[in-house]
Chain A
């Protein structure tokens, strides 16, 4: 590396900003609309971590990320208000996650109710619309439905279990470019 290169690099980080200990930043720097590069960097990093985890842990990666997500869901939702009604709890969770994930309670046209009972199991269909996980995977050309999706699954299951006090399970029904369909199975 030449002296010029080093000087050029150092110059690019030079700043006359004065920080005092009481200074608390009140807004993002740079403003959010200039953060695209950062967002892409984050998505690449997440994709890379997940790809490496899959290479190292094979099929076990799904179990690890699911458990991690579920634990996180339980921890975060401890502070949410407790709601027994699952549909209400899902609505609340969707409001809390708004901006990162949007979840819609959904039913096929031939069903009358959102809580469906079929073959001895009770479940609710959920359509995941906005989803940073889907964006990350598609941005990196990685398939949907793998360990990163399972982190989110785990998170939703953990949060719902914590809010409602009921055991739950989530199953992927379909993954698409614009929305994904999942089944929240209540136990």
Chain B
């Protein structure tokens, strides 16, 4: 289930069932977008999000969803992701 938040240009949702309350997104976000409430991350300042997607990279539960973020061009295969996938597979 997704917990909706105040709507801005960029919309952020946190899957409450997936979030384990580790707080990594809270620590990592440079714009203090998230706060932990009842051990769940809540995007309280989504209007300040600049779309870096560091929180996606760091979230171990893949609980985050952003809408309205400009997708930067990718010219590469992310070798860290590939290594991780290879380990899992």
Asked if A178 is at the interface of the complex by the 8 Å CB criterion, the answer is yes
B70 close to A129 (CB less than 8 A): yes
B57 at the interface (CB under 8 A from A): yes
With A141-B80, A178-B69, A179-B70 already in contact, the answer to whether A43 and B75 are too (CB < 8 A) is yes
The answer on a CB contact under 8 Å between A174 and B75 is no
Once the chains bind, are A177 and B75 in contact (CB under 8 Å)? no
Q: How far, in whole Å, are A151 and B72 apart by their CA atoms in the complex?
A: 20
List the B residue with the shortest CB-CB distance to A106: B50
Q: In whole angstroms, how far apart are the Cα atoms of A131 and B74 in the complex?
A: 9
A173 x B80 contact (CB < 8 A): no
Docked complex Cα distance between A39 and B76 (Å): 9
Q: Is A110's beta carbon under 8 Å from chain B?
A: yes
Which residues 140-178 of A sit at the B interface, judged by CB distance below 8 A?
140-141, 173-178
Number of interface residues of A (CB under 8 A): 31
Complex Cα distance, B54 from A127, in Å, reads: 14
Known: A173-B30, A179-B70. A39 touches B52 (CB 8 A): no
* B69 closest partner in A (C-beta): A178
Are A138 and B78 touching (Cβ within 8 A)? yes
Q: List 28 A-B contacts (CB under 8 A).
A: A43-B75, A106-B50, A108-B31, A109-B48, A125-B50, A129-B72, A132-B75, A135-B73, A135-B76, A138-B76, A139-B76, A139-B77, A139-B79, A140-B79, A141-B79, A141-B80, A173-B30, A174-B52, A174-B54, A175-B52, A176-B52, A176-B53, A177-B54, A177-B56, A178-B53, A178-B70, A178-B72, A179-B53
A interface residue numbers (CB < 8 A to B): 39-40, 43, 102, 104, 106, 108-110, 125, 127, 129-132, 134-136, 138-141, 173-181
